[in-house]
Amino acid sequence: MTTLGDIDPGFGPDDDLRHWPEPGGRMRDSLFWETVMPDEQLGMQVYLYLTDRGKTGYNVSVWGPGTEPVALKLAQGTVGDDMDLDNFEFEGLTVKQPELRRTAQVSYASDEVSLQFDFTALHDAFSYKSNPDGLPSWFAANRLEQTGHVTGFLEVGGRRIAWDRKGHRDHSWGVRNWGVPHHWKWFIAYTESGRVVNGWIWIARGDWGFAGYVVKDGVTIPVSHIKHKADYDDGMVQTRLEADVVDITGETTRLVMESFGAIKLPTKDPMGTVITEAACRVTIDGEEGAGQFETHWPGQYLQHLIESGR
């Protein structure tokens, strides 16, 4: 596995574990796994956070074309200082990482939804610090992105779906200031042949920035910039993304994402931030695949856009 570029990614061998702050400081880890199933008309994600003071919580979300989620399970509480991210258990959710930055085992069980899967990385973990625009401090101290292969199952709504497909995960650490960015778009797209496009487009303090990578012929290449156009419905829910993703070698990868279902996940921060996740059919340079397209909006601005007809 090869990653191009000469920018220090800024992470070490233990950075998929729980992080601790400097004296008097604060720290927060967040981990995320997803897989999108256009053949089943479903998207699935597991999002977990854990602070240095032991506050923890998660959302386990399954959604499709309907206006309501197929399943949305939320929990929050506390765990002890001895709980780490290679062997984590809380309120029905279990996360194990047998080989950091390479494999993970995730399971969840409730009355509405149960799942279990093994994640095996397709490439080395990628840090957004490796992009020319870097990683803004308001977002995280560092963020790892990694696409992989997922095997396991999902049981929801009376259906049992076997998984043997592509998926994605990320891990951020540091305290996030949700109110600084005006807007962002994040996306992941993958094909069963192993083509991958990950992108993050943000605007904050009046400046644009870009991050992400493409995987082509087994080589991971950092993104330089992204030309993009998104479409939205009357409720400002994303329906389509067209992107020309330019990497550091100057090559362009063409990505088209078509949403078949979306879910809104308020963050309950002072800005009323709304995160919307869209499950998508995609093409990468014409090759069909699947993926997820996320948007970030300050709540008051989002409501103004909706009421003003954009």
Task: State the residue range of the domain holding 95.
Answer: 28-307
Per-residue pLDDT at 18: 98
Per-residue pLDDT at 88: 98
Those residues of the chain that have pLDDT short of 50 are none
CB atoms under 10 Å from CB of 114, counted, come to 17
**For residues 45 and 173, what is the distance between their CA atoms, to the nearest angstrom?**
19
User: Going by DSSP bridges, is the β-strand pair 2-3/219-232 parallel, antiparallel, or unpaired?
Assistant: parallel
Q: Looking up tokens 């897989």, which residue turns up?
A: 35
Cα 303 to Cα 66, 71, 266, 272: the distances in Å are 21, 25, 13, 10
19 found inside a domain: no
Write out the two tokens for 2: 């090869």
Per-residue pLDDT at 310: 59
Per-residue pLDDT at 267: 80
98 found inside a domain: yes
Is the pTM value of this prediction over 0.95?
yes
Per-residue pLDDT at 171: 98
185 found inside a domain: yes
User: Going by DSSP bridges, is the β-strand pair 55-63/42-51 parallel, antiparallel, or unpaired?
Assistant: antiparallel
**For residues 239 and 237, what is the distance between their CA atoms, to the nearest angstrom?**
6
The CATH number of residue 232's host domain is 2.40.370.10
Per-residue pLDDT at 176: 92
In 3D space, the residue among 233, 236, 229 whose CA is nearest the CA of residue 257 turns out to be: 229
CB 188 within 8 Å of CB 34: yes
41 found inside a domain: yes
**For residues 283 and 280, what is the distance between their CA atoms, to the nearest angstrom?**
10
21 found inside a domain: no
162 found inside a domain: yes
Across-strand partners of 129?
A: none
Per-residue pLDDT at 270: 84
For the chain, what is the domain count? 1
168 found inside a domain: yes
10 found inside a domain: no
